[in-house]
Structure 1
Amino acid sequence: MSPSSDLAGEDVIYDIKLSTVVPASITAEGKTRQLTNMDLAMKLHYITTVHFFGGDAAEGLSIQDLKKPMFQWLQPYYLICGRIRRHDGGGRPFIKCNDSGVRIMEAKCAKTVDEWLETVNGGDHHRLLVYKQPLVADDLGFTPLVFLQFTEFKCGGLCVGMSWAHILGDAFSATECINMWGKFMANRTPPAHILNTPPIIHHLETASSCRSLKLLDPLGDNWLTPNNLKMQMNTFHLTEKQLSDLLSGENKNYKVTPFELISAIVWKSLAKIRSRSSMVATVCKKGEFDQTSLENELPGNMHQVIGIVEAEMTGTDPLELAELIAEKLVDETNMIEKRMEESSVNGNPADYILYGANLTFVNLEDVNLCGLKLRGERPVFANLSIGGVGDEGAVVVVPYTGQGNGSGGRTVNVILPEHQLLQLKNELRVEWGNF
């Protein structure tokens, strides 16, 4: 779907051009990626990133300058150039590594970077700046798994927007991949950069059931989350001082992180909005792995621990909820794999959603959002969110990468049914002040 709709009543995105970039050399014939059960649990979801650069970083960079290093970059990342296929016509999906490439969109914007960020404010920074195309039956075998959009602003600034099919890998893999493109552009990566198959990470068996997934009616090859409500994203920024205030004073006896406290406040507010006395939430957080190993691995969905927390909401304050999130998470990572396996018919698992099956809190505080640089310059603002979220909604917490007073804080992306989002904003004004 082309991002051609208006922003504030103006046609701000124009002069759109599409192209495709493929690896510099041909991948071995017949090479495939056999998808894991966790990969297939994520097949309806996608990851989006935006990196805004000022005029100094982007000045004089042509689309050819941006695309030229991609040919070498895509050689080790040949996986993301593949397309979805099925075994025996209708069996288990896999990725055929056929060098079909990533789709590139070029666009121009009638605003400056500052004007865009000010206009969007707390809204959806990704709308219009991340080109995406759904994986649906007629085009499933032809649709790219990664889209890159380069939007040139009238000030000379640039936004690099990426849409990444979650079936390829999680947010840690996605950001490492786009960051590596920046390194190739800066000639900071050796030519013979070969990526290894991701290792298997073992998780503790702490769950006896799987409540993180929601079973859907069969979707066939239409890989779209079936929402009953209109979903919308809003972005909040919490400064380092706001976080410090939340975690200080009477809170000193509680050993919780910013993510846990942010999640607890949003959870408590949504329980009030939804008139629920108890709630189950899904929590996704970084697993035990060395992040430096990412630069030597193909993308994969093994870097997160996924579990559930259940809480009585009546009479429970946010700090108690934060402690529950920190200490009472029931790890369901292995159970998700088992559920996908047990539901398989001819090797093809049933259709599930994870993000938004329950209200889902995603801890990406450790994701390397500032790893993508142009001419050695950090982005003036970067963000990451998740798409294909179910009706229960999701809250994605990433490091705040902007400049000024927000440095050291957090960016909180909330994806909820439209009517609940408006109510939540009113609730959070009480907790967090103006935003």
Structure 2
Amino acid sequence: MSSLPSLETPHQSSRITTVVPLTPTLQGDEIVAYNLNYMDLLMKLHYIRSIYVFNSEVMQNLSLSDLKTPIYALLESCSHVSGRIRILESGRPFIKCNDAGVRVAETRCDKTLHEWFDEKEYSVEGFVPDHVLGPDLAFSPLVFVKFTHFKCGGLSVGMSWAHILGDAFSAFNFISKWSQILAGQAPPKSLHKQNLTKPQFSLNSVSDNPISIKRATCVEEYWLATNHSDVATHTFHITSNQLHHLVTPSTTSNNIKTKYFEIISAMIWKCIAQIRGDFGQTVVTICTTNISNRAENEFPTNGSVLSKIETNFPPDQANILDLANLITEKKMNENHVLEKIVEDGEGKEHFIVYGAKLTFVDLEEADFYEIKINGQKPIMVNCDFRGVHDEGVVLVLPGPEDTDGNNGRMITVSLPGKELDQLKCKLAGELGIQYLHFE
């Protein structure tokens, strides 16, 4: 059996347990297999890492053991989450629903939330286990949860979710259902499998020349692609007042409905193009998810739409409105051709999605702050992706509630380290955007 990743830092001590479904999935020697679709297989080298941070009031009359108990019931409705990866003779992976369980770490930290945030600058590092699949897939959990109890009484709930299970909204939904069971709601008996209808696009908005993925040429014992650059991650915060100034009547002209996501993505796209020079990044990937047609008790699924945006003008010199309108109106869907590429390879090949090209991910509609423990909403939520390649990824998420009761946006950016340092300077100097300050 492979050794577990180290969960301890100089300021933490951890205890690791395994949580399995309350009712066994296996009947005798029967193997229950969960077949993976093309989008699952595209995402198998990526991991979704999220944290939910709560103040000291949240743990009244609760123990860390109480936090773990709802996971047992939740796994009954989605047993493949506690399964393990297996490989068919053809080379195609699937999930064996063998009730091997998810890992849970219970951690105590000798720092306060203030001290931790001052040191970590809102990184998920330390809150979320260092989790990847491998070296022995038969013993690698697909989900790893970490509860951290701080000296001040605060709590963080961190989760590393193998993207092969489902997209970021599925990962968030898993935590949401956990919190509902913790609050006393009955667990769902089963989850609805989403009917993933193919989005309708006009002929000129469908791409036959995909740029949103690349083949991973160096994947060894771990399911994680090798980078040529040292990719680092940083989170910025745009307040609701800054959003108001970004999205003005002049940025919503020509009857084009522009979301905050498009404006923020255009702004970051232009900045990165200026940093990279040589006409800038003229082709980017947009990752969106239509969550309006998802059932309340949704089965985890990878329902993202990957689209490319191409521009024939220099993005480093462009008006932000022009780039935002391009993102809004000119997305070219690539899912249909990506499916063909995966299936032609019989699901055996490894691919990189996030960072194959500069990738913008729309998570604005995630209901992060509706998750409650003891009636308390999180004071801060963040998310990043592991397995990001050299071109980088930008996540746009809802931010915490401002003093005026409105929500801003969190922007979590993963780029090669030197480029990220330059982006920090640009956003701070030109727009006054800093990382989120803890209050």
What is the TM-score of this pair, normalised by structure 2? Answer: 0.91
Give distance in 2, aligned partners of 1:47 and 1:393: 15
Shift of 1:434: 4.6
Query: Partners in 1 of 2:193 and 2:148 — Cα distance?
Result: 33
Partner in structure 1 of residue 43 of structure 2: 42
**Is 1:265 aligned to residue 274 of structure 2?**
no
Task: State the distance in 2 between where 1:106 and 1:407 align.
Answer: 33
Partner Cα distance (2:395, 2:405) in 1: 17
In structure 1, C-alpha distance between the alignment counterparts of 2:95 and 2:403, rounded to whole Å? 43
2:300 counterpart residue number: 299
1:402 deviation in Å? 4.8
Aligned residue among 191, 201, 205 for 1:195: 191
Deviation per CA, 1:383-422: give whole Å up to 9, x if none: 1221110000000011002553684100000001111100
Give 2:437's aligned residue.
none
Matches within 5 A, 1:34-433: 34-88=35-89, 91-121=91-121, 123-124=122-123, 126-136=124-134, 138-189=135-186, 191=187, 193-204=189-200, 206-217=206-217, 219=219, 222-248=222-248, 250-253=250-253, 255=256, 256-278=258-280, 279-287=282-290, 289-291=292-294, 293=295, 295-302=296-303, 304-311=304-311, 312-313=313-314, 315-342=317-344, 344=345, 347-402=346-401, 404=403, 407-433=406-432
How far 1:332 sits from its partner (Å)? 0.8
Alignment of 1:3-14 (within 5 A): 3-5=7-9, 11-12=10-11, 14=12
Q: One-letter code of the match for 1:176? A: N
What's 2:14 paired with?
16
Amino acid at match of 2:126: L
CA contact (8 A) 1:218 1:350 kept: no
Which letter does structure 2 place at the counterpart of 1:129? Answer: F
Q: How many residues align?
A: 418
Deviation of 1:226 after TM superposition, in Å, equals: 1.0
User: Aligned with 1:196: secondary structure?
Assistant: coil
Could you tell me how far apart the structure 2 residues matched to 1:128 and 1:324 are?
Answer: 38
| CA shift for structure 1 position 337 | 1.1
Equivalents in 1 of 2:394, 2:427: separation in Å?
14
What amino acid maps onto 2:272 in structure 1? Answer: L
Preserved contact between residue 381 and residue 403 of structure 1 (Cα < 8 Å): no
Question: Retained in 2: the 8 A contact 1:370–1:379?
Answer: yes
Write the distance in 1 (CA, Å) between the matches of 2:15 and 2:402.
31
Deviation of residue 251 (structure 1)?
3.0
3-state SS, counterpart of residue 400 of structure 1 = strand
220-229 vs 69-78, which moves further: 220-229
Aligned in 2, Cα 1:288/1:103: closer, same or farther, shift over 3 Å?
Answer: closer
Alpha carbons 2:401, 2:407 under 8 Å: kept: no
Q: CA-to-partner distance for each residue in 1:76-133, whole Å, 9 max, x for gaps? A: 1212101000112x61000001111110111112222233234333x52x00110132
Give 1:155's aligned amino acid: C
How far, CA to CA, are the matches of 2:364 and 2:347 in structure 1?
A: 34
Letter of the 1:149 counterpart: K
CA distance 1:280–1:3, shift in 2 (3 Å): farther
SS of residue matched to 1:348: coil
2:175 is paired with a residue whose SS is helix
State the alpha-carbon separation in 1 of the partners of residues 396 and 359 from structure 2. Answer: 11
Counterpart residue type for residue 51 of structure 2 = V
* Structure 1 contact 204–331 (Cα < 8 Å) conserved: no
The answer (yes or no) to whether the contact 1:52–1:157 under 8 Å persists in 2 is yes
Where 2:138 maps in the other structure, the secondary structure is: coil
Kept in 2, the 8 Å contact 1:379–1:402? The answer is no
Distance 2:336 2:430 in 1: 36
Residues 269 and 277 of structure 1: CA distance in aligned 2, closer, same or farther (over 3 Å) = same
SS in 2 for 1:337: helix
Paired residues of 1:359 and 1:393 also in contact (CA < 8 A): yes
- Cα distance between partner residues in 1 of 2:213 and 2:61: 47
Q: Which residue of 2 aligns with 1:8?
A: none
Give ranges in structure 1 of 5+ residues lacking alignment: 6-10
Deviation larger for 29-38 or 238-247 = 29-38
